[in-house]
Amino acid sequence: MFSKTCEYAIRAIIFIAQKSENGVNVGIKEIFKGINAPESFIAKILQELSRKGLIQSVKGPNGGFFLDEESKKNTLADIVKTIDGDKLFTGCALGLKNCSEIEPCPLHDEFKVIRQQMHNMLRNSTVAEFNTELAQGLKHLKR
Amino acid sequence: MFSKTCEYAIRAIIFIAQKSENGVNVGIKEIFKGINAPESFIAKILQELSRKGLIQSVKGPNGGFFLDEESKKNTLADIVKTIDGDKLFTGCALGLKNCSEIEPCPLHDEFKVIRQQMHNMLRNSTVAEFNTELAQGLKHLKR
DNA sequence: ATAATAAAAGATAAAAAACTCTTTTATTTA
DNA sequence: TAAATAAAAGAGTTTTTTATCTTTTATTAT
């Protein structure tokens, strides 16, 4: 579905959104433990997310990652598009380049509905909307 | 979504279902041209599908691939499970091993509905049900 | 029997994805 | 201003996926 990189990215950003809510930066160590991801791999991913503007960072003591007001408004669809592209939202289930209404693959009609639902779900979820449920332990990001 | 191997496998089996309807075996050359897949890769995949019983084959002149009565009843879900496993139908969108009703990830509740629809779509599609639409050029398997 | 045909098997090769390690740069605080 | 901290950057490595090539085996028709 999503690449591993994208799975970790989504989990990391939701984690940062919740942990930095009070204005405190979140370090890599806290993040990789909090979402149970390989430390140096998540470091690389955070670097990319920062470069692409999906998260913000500061170096040095008390440094770490956080989300500015704009980044808090991002949706999960924004993350997926940035990391995996929009193949998931527009591509053919059977990998055909020309698959469309006028040249459909056998699954096209049914698949496009599901693809659309997936897109809607991710477009309608902001990265910060899970903060309270996470804090209450009703939703989880590791294991 | 599906692995490339699985995409080719589905396209190949649907192709064989249609072309072998009249009892004539379909050769590798006809298949790889018919679904626009790399020849030696699709040969390997057909080999695996044959070993796993999803298609049948005969060697030698007039040989090739076909589907017996049982194989015609297989669904696309059967192919996906055989090639990619059932991760797509049961796995967590964010890659969490323990994600479930009792320990859900942030996407669990919404994702499980979509996952289920995907499963239903594939379970309710037999490999032979596209034969006439393909023959009429209403559905496509290459490009 | 022999030649021709076509898939099976086995062994590699290339490319992409997942993951690691080391060095550098920026920032803070003592 | 020096030491400590923490992310950025760069350069690998490993694993998995995708793809290719060669040889063998089975079947058919001459």
Inter-residue contact A82 to A53 (CB < 8 Å): no
Neighboring chain B residues of A93 at a CB cutoff of 8 Å: 1-2, 7
Percent above pLDDT 90 for chain B: 100
Residue B20's pLDDT is 96
Helix (H) and strand (E) counts in chain A = 8, 2
- B88 close to A (CB below 8 A): yes
Give the tokens for residue B74: 């297989």
Residue A139's pLDDT is 98
- Out of B96, B113, B117, closest to residue A140 by CB: B96
Q: Give the residue carrying structure tokens 């030696």.
A: B40
- Using CA atoms, how far residue A40 sits from A44, A137, B11, B96, in Å, is 6, 27, 39, 19
- Using CA atoms, how far residue B37 sits from A62, A91, B9, B33, B40, in Å, is 54, 17, 10, 7, 9
Name the phi and psi angles at A65, rounded to 5: -115, 150
- A14 close to B (CB below 8 A): yes
Give the tokens for residue A85: 């592209």
Average pLDDT estimate for B123-140 = 98
Percent above pLDDT 70 for chain A: 100
Rounded Cα–Cα distance for residues A53 and B15 (Å): 45
> Band of the pLDDT at B128, cuts 50, 70, 90?
very high
Residue B69 is inside which H or E element, if any? helix B69-72
> Band of the pLDDT at B11, cuts 50, 70, 90?
very high
Residue A98's pLDDT is 97
What tens digit of pLDDT does each residue of B36-91 get?
A: 999 999 999 999 999 999 999 999 999 999 999 999 999 999 999 999 999 999 99
- Using CA atoms, how far residue A78 sits from A33, A130, A131, in Å, is 24, 16, 18
Residue A79's pLDDT is 98
Angle of helix A39-51 versus helix A4-19 axis, rounded to 10: 80
- Average pLDDT of every residue of chain B: 98
Rounded Cα–Cα distance for residues A121 and A10 (Å): 14
Inter-residue contact A35 to A65 (CB < 8 Å): no
Q: Give the residue carrying structure tokens 């323990």.
A: B98
CA dihedral A139, B1, B5, B6 (to 10 degrees): 90
Residue B58's pLDDT is 98
Rounded Cα–Cα distance for residues B120 and B122 (Å): 5
Rg over alpha carbons for chain B, rounded to the nearest Å, is: 17
Residue A34's pLDDT is 98
Give the tokens for residue B114: 């979509």
- Using CA atoms, how far residue B49 sits from A86, A107, B124, in Å, is 31, 20, 20
- Shortest Cα–Cα distance, A24 to chain B (Å): 22
pTM for the whole structure: 0.96
Nearest nt (C1') from A48 Cα: D8
Q: Do A14 and B142 touch (CB under 8 A)?
A: no
At B11, is the secondary structure helix, strand, or coil? helix
Rounded Cα–Cα distance for residues A59 and B76 (Å): 51
